[in-house]
Amino acid sequence: MTAGPSPRPARRTPSEFSLPVERGHLDRLVAGAPDWLAVDRTAGFEAFEALPPETNLLYTTYLDLRPADLAEAVIGGPPVPGADDGAADHVDVATLPDDADGVLEIRDGRPAAAALSAAARTAGVTLTSLSHLLGTDPARARELLDGGSTLPADDRFAQLTRALWSDGIVLDVPAGVCLQKPVLLRWATGTPGIARFGRTIIRLGDGATAAVVEELMPEGADSAGASATAPGAATGGPDRAQSFLAGTAEIGLGAGANLSVASIQDLAATTVTFQHRTSRLGEGASLHWALAQLGSRFTRSRIDNRLEGDRSSVEQAEIVFGADEQFFDLTSYTRHVGRDTTGNLLSKGALLDRARAYLKGMITIERSAVGTDSYLGEFGMNLSKGARSVAIPSLEIDQPDCRRAAHGSSVGPIDETQLFYLESRGIPPDEARKFIVLGFLEPVVARVPLADAQDLLRSLLEAKWEAGTAGAAAHVAA
């Protein structure tokens, strides 16, 4: 008797989130926690259970969580608390890079390295892990966390991070302090079959100035942030179990504060990452985002900017460079509340092989936002027939008295006129394509404030281009 065909695995719907999340995960985290924190975590968990995966009806058609195959993943627990766990002022300053004022690294859910320059410590800057802050300054931790107001209340997965975070990073810069060098924040993760939740909280007082470089790297990355394998080749074969990283960047800027944030994401090819970045800007404050999404199997990124203060401004550039079957789902919300606020928002995606990218954005101009100047641009470059980009820019305007309210988008292959121009100058076709693609992604590279991180990003982009084009050539030859 011959055996029949094996049953097909059950099909998943595009909105199904496969990570097993149970009430017991929450119970373990609230056991022994302060009452206010237990209430906050519980509120986040209940919101996760109640909310749909996508609340914006414009984007429900473009929701697809199936690349996240996390049915066998286990949620990692909190770190073992320690007196000096993750406190930058308890680590020898000799571990600090010469071109940085601070560094804090979270490796597989635990603080692994921390340092803060003498000048920053003297100025009263705090750089520590969230677990350490809870133990040493619970009042400040409650001020930063209680109520969950820094995370989008309508996002199911942001609320899950609010409920299940195990550790995080806090950078607190007092009023009037101007850091001369960037602060480096590293997240190294990717253990197969493990899901982790973390938060990054950044506060700048009135008139403060700082720059932050965030690196999200695979667990094999060295202390310089470079992958243990060739640059751009995120570790992890197709047979390895997927890992999951949910992270936040929750930013609050006082009046006249100025912050630049650059992020380089080159996680392993078996990692799924959900990212939530939020900002609230006071009067005259300015924020500059420069975000590069290169690694992971599936990236879901959401940015919420809220320009509350008059004359506040945000500049945002986010790029995607995808290959193989990578999937990037990017959403940006910018809400203008104060008068004479400015927003300049740009998303770009370059895709090889069968990669996909959704570039979604919404600018909202409230009735109080007289004199707003805001622009949203979303542009996709498909470098193969199997690649797919979707751009969906949107405007919601309740105040007609604006300096500018505009959006633009395009999706297509490399411009043939650009290729012709470069080739007519004697540049070989392959080199011309490379120049065009890397130039297309340059707006983020140029905004990275740390020289070593800028060099790292350029090397990752070039390595990914070389690997992608070599793979395409091999496929054609076969």
Q: What is the pLDDT of residues 285-314, one digit of tens each?
A: 999 999 999 999 999 999 999 999 999 999
Residue 457 lies in a domain: no
pLDDT digits (tens, 9 = 90+) for 233-266: 444 455 679 999 999 999 999 999 999 999 999 9
Please, are residues 244 and 272 in contact by the beta-carbon 8 Å criterion? yes
Lowest mean pLDDT among 94-108, 187-201, 304-318, 393-407: 94-108
pLDDT digits (tens, 9 = 90+) for 443-470: 899 889 888 889 999 999 999 999 888 7
Round to whole Å and give the CA distance between 113 and 100. 14
473 by DSSP, 3-state: which?
A: helix
Q: What share of the chain is helix, strand, coil (3-state, %, to 5)?
A: 25, 35, 40
Which domain range does residue 58 map to? 23-412
pLDDT at 109: 86
pLDDT digits (tens, 9 = 90+) for 323-376: 999 999 999 999 999 999 999 999 999 999 999 999 999 999 999 999 999 999
Round to whole Å and give the CA distance between 43 and 51. 12
Residue 250 lies in a domain: yes
What is the percentage of the chain residues whose pLDDT exceeds 90?
A: 81
For the segment 429-445, the average pLDDT, to the nearest whole number, is 92
Please, are residues 259 and 202 in contact by the beta-carbon 8 Å criterion? yes
pLDDT at 5: 60
Question: Which string of b and e fits 330-350 if b means at least 16 CB within 10 Å?
Answer: bbbbbbbbbbbbbbbbbbbbb
CB atoms within 10 A of CB 316: 25
Count structural domains, the chain. Answer: 1
Residue 191 lies in a domain: yes
Residue 75 lies in a domain: yes
**Of how many residues is the chain composed?**
478
pLDDT digits (tens, 9 = 90+) for 187-232: 999 999 999 999 999 999 999 999 999 999 998 765 444 443 343 4
Looking at the DSSP bridge assignments, the partners of residue 298 are 272, 327
Residue 166 lies in a domain: yes
* Count of alpha carbons within 13 angstroms of residue 364, beta-carbon side: 11
Round to whole Å and give the CA distance between 169 and 398. 37
Residue 461 lies in a domain: no
pLDDT at 97: 85
Residue 382 lies in a domain: yes
Round to whole Å and give the CA distance between 197 and 219. 15
Residue 455 lies in a domain: no
Radius of gyration of the chain (CA): 22
Round to whole Å and give the CA distance between 69 and 250. 27
Name the band, by pLDDT with cuts 50, 70 and 90, for residue 87.
low
